[in-house]
Amino acid sequence: MSRVYEVMFIVRPDAAEEDVDKLIAGFTATVTGGGGVVKTVEKMGRRKLAYTVRKFNDGNYVLLTIEANGAVVLELERRLRVTEPVIKFITVRIDEEEKRLAKVKALRGVRRKLTPEHTAPVAAAAPAEATEPVQAAV
């Protein structure tokens, strides 16, 4: 069963651009060789890390959106773990979130059809002033 995942990994900041491209090509080959599909590859560039990771304070971020089964994702994670220039990675399954968002959007569309459009502006009611003074009970 094929599912959609986002795989973000951080490459050492001292890695050359060609090396990062080779890593991406290798990971893409791993996914396609296992029967998966790489939907998008987004190189987010060099960014500061939230905390020091392996004595690095910044790194090159790369985001892959893939559609694959669990075995392919496990193999990709294994390769990410043993690849020396990769200092951190995370894999998140996003197909359930996409289904939930589609359902919410569909419900919002139904609600918009059921509620009338802004036909007349609602006049703000001014507070009525008291004509008689209020006396305190003694």
Q: Measured between alpha carbons, how far is 73 from 31 in angstroms, rounded to an integer?
A: 8
Domain with 27 in it: what CATH number?
A: 3.30.70.60
The residue that leads in pLDDT, 72 or 132, is: 72
pLDDT digits (tens, 9 = 90+) for 62-117: 999 999 999 999 999 999 999 999 999 999 999 888 888 889 998 888 877 776 65
Hey, CA dihedral for 45, 50, 52, 53, is it positive or negative?
Answer: negative
Average pLDDT (19-39) is 96
CA gyration radius for the chain?
27
How many distinct structural domains can be found in the chain?
1
The angle subtended at Cα 93 by Cα 92 and Cα 98, nearest 5°, is 120
Q: What is the pLDDT of residue 127?
A: 58
Q: What b/e readout covers 82-110, taking b as 16+ CB neighbours within 10 angstroms?
A: eeebbbebebeeeeeeeeeeeeeeeeeee
Residue 30 lies in a domain: yes
Residue 85 lies in a domain: yes
Residue 125 lies in a domain: no
pLDDT digits (tens, 9 = 90+) for 48-60: 999 999 999 999 9
Residue 126 lies in a domain: no
Hey, CA dihedral for 76, 82, 87, 90, is it positive or negative?
Answer: positive
Least confident of 3-17, 29-43, 48-62, 92-106: 92-106
Please return the burial class of 116, using the count of CB atoms within 10 Å of its CB with bins 0-12, 13-18 and 19+: exposed
- Residue 121: pLDDT band with limits 50, 70, 90: low
Residue 75 lies in a domain: yes
Residue 34 lies in a domain: yes
- Residue 124: pLDDT band with limits 50, 70, 90: low
pTM (predicted TM-score) = 0.73
Domain that holds residue 70: 3-97
Q: Which range among 22-31, 100-109, 123-132 has the greatest average pLDDT?
A: 22-31
Residue 115 lies in a domain: no
Provide the token pair at 35: 């029967």
